[in-house]
Amino acid sequence: MFLPEKRDYAILGTGALGGFYGACLQHAGHSVHFLLHNDYDVVCKSGLVIESKNGDFTLPKVNAYQDIHKMPPCDVVIVSLKTTQNHLLPQLLPPVLKKDGVVLILQNGFGIEKTVADIVGEQRVMGGLCFLCSNKTGAGHICHFDYGAIKLGEYANSVGVTERMRQIASDFKSANIPIQMVDDLLLARWQKLVWNIPFNGLSVVLNATTVEIMENADSRALVKQLMQEVAVAAKSSHHLISDNFIEKMLINTEKMVAYKTSMKLDYDAGHKMEIEAIFGNVLRWVDVELPMISMLYRQLKFLDL
């Protein structure tokens, strides 16, 4: 599982997340190709502008594409679309992925690697969990507020930490992006869902920030119960989320400043929410009763229309 010595990157989805990471990679000297949609003309003309707490920079010229068939095949294809666009992946991935290349999914949620594995084969799939606060404030203009670390793992079972993971990690580190390699991607996904399910869901249904949710005894209790339900779901796939982990996550959230979740930002902006990736897939693929997650899912689906 080696990638060539110099890796070409494709960014499918040049938004707040893909645009930020791709720009950092290019800024560090790597070869990056960006797929764009609405912002294509602006980015061709003016490049990408990154305002970052790590230092602002501009890339006046980037390899921008509107058509996947005009992109060169790449070693690492980063999927950073909203999951609500994932129905496009069967068309997008095959043309842009080199024979020995790998797809790196930097999306929220659960079960997306499986979808991609069905397209490109499970040996060519990796996942990453991003802990990033960034916004796209205009076409080709991204503001990076805080964090930025990625947990990186192979999708294929029991392969552990591979050489190509180290290669990708080295590229990201050279771009000042903290990377942690994990040997159990699914566990990392469950751990992230412990936070994402209660806070993304309740922030929309209750119209609240993380601080408002944590300060009220009832919503705080709901958060904890939903976290415990995620642990029940994880257990059914043989992954342990301990009570201690949940307690720590509650305490860490209490220390955060008031924060609008990504789902709340989408909802307020009138965008489709990532309900299926974060909630629907868990409910479909886990064989235990999850009454609270299920109720939150249905409430969100009502509000999504």
Enzyme catalytic residues: 192
Q: Residue 238 CB, nearest distance to its own copies (Å)? A: 24
Q: Which residue number, 194 or 213, has a Cβ lying nearer to its own copies?
A: 213
Taking the C-alpha atoms of residue 217 and residue 243, their distance in angstroms, rounded to an integer, is 19
Q: How many Cα atoms within 13 Å fall on the side-chain side of residue 33?
A: 19
x-marked contacts with its own copies along 216-255 as a string, rule CB under 8 A: x-xx-xx--x------------------------------
- Residue 258, SS3? coil
Instruction: State which amino acid sits at residue 250.
Output: L
| Under 8 Å between Cβ of 127 and 109 | no
Angle (CA) 132-262-187 rounded to 5° is 65
List the interface residues with its own copies, window 199-218 (CB under 8 A): 205-206, 208, 213, 216, 218
66 belongs to the binding site for its own copies (CB under 8 A): no
Alpha-carbon distance of 84 to 74, in angstroms, equals: 24
Name every residue whose Cβ is closer than 8 Å to that of residue 213 and which is 6 or more positions away in sequence: 198, 199, 202, 203, 206, 219, 220, 223
* CB of 75 or CB of 276, closer to its own copies: 276
**Residues contacting its own copies: total by CB under 8 A:** 21
Nearest distance, CB of residue 203 and its own copies, angstroms: 11
> Which of these, 202, 195, 193, lies nearest to 239 by C-alpha position?
193
Which x/- pattern, by CB under 8 A, does the window 140-169 give for its own copies? ------------------------------
Nearer to its own copies, 22 or 201 (CB): 201
Query: Which residues are at the interface with its own copies (CB under 8 A)?
Result: 205-206, 208, 213, 216, 218-219, 221-222, 225, 291-292, 295-299, 301-303, 305
